[in-house]
Amino acid sequence: MKRDALVIKDRDNVATAIRDIPAGKDAVVGIDEETLTIRVSGEISLGHKFAVKPIARGEDVLKYNCVIGRATRDIKTGEHAHVQNMESLRGRGDL
């Protein structure tokens, strides 16, 4: 089955799109040898992230088993995870 996105570590709560994914599509997400299907709520561009499980406001956003940001509001499964709902914790200098 052709994958649309990848999760590097099973602890990650976001997947990275490896192709453009249209809104409302059931995206096939690869996690190691496993796959799961997640319906994306909006268009996800190549290289962008979307939630593979609910992420609560204030919760760390994990990609590649690393904290890359914090949710500024609840993020639903399949929702684009980007500047509209998370803040970066990398390279800020104030933390």
What is the model's pLDDT at position 13? 97
What domains can you pick out in the chain, each with its CATH number? 5-88 (2.30.130.110)
- Give the tens place of pLDDT for each residue, 41-80: 999 999 999 999 999 999 999 998 999 999 999 999 999 9
| CA distance linking residue 71 with residue 63, whole number of Å | 13
Q: What is the pTM of this model?
A: 0.90
What is the model's pLDDT at position 93? 58
Write b or e for each residue in 26-65: b if 16 or more Cβ atoms lie within 10 A of its Cβ, otherwise e: ebebbbeeeeeebebeeebeeebbbbbeebeeeeebbbee
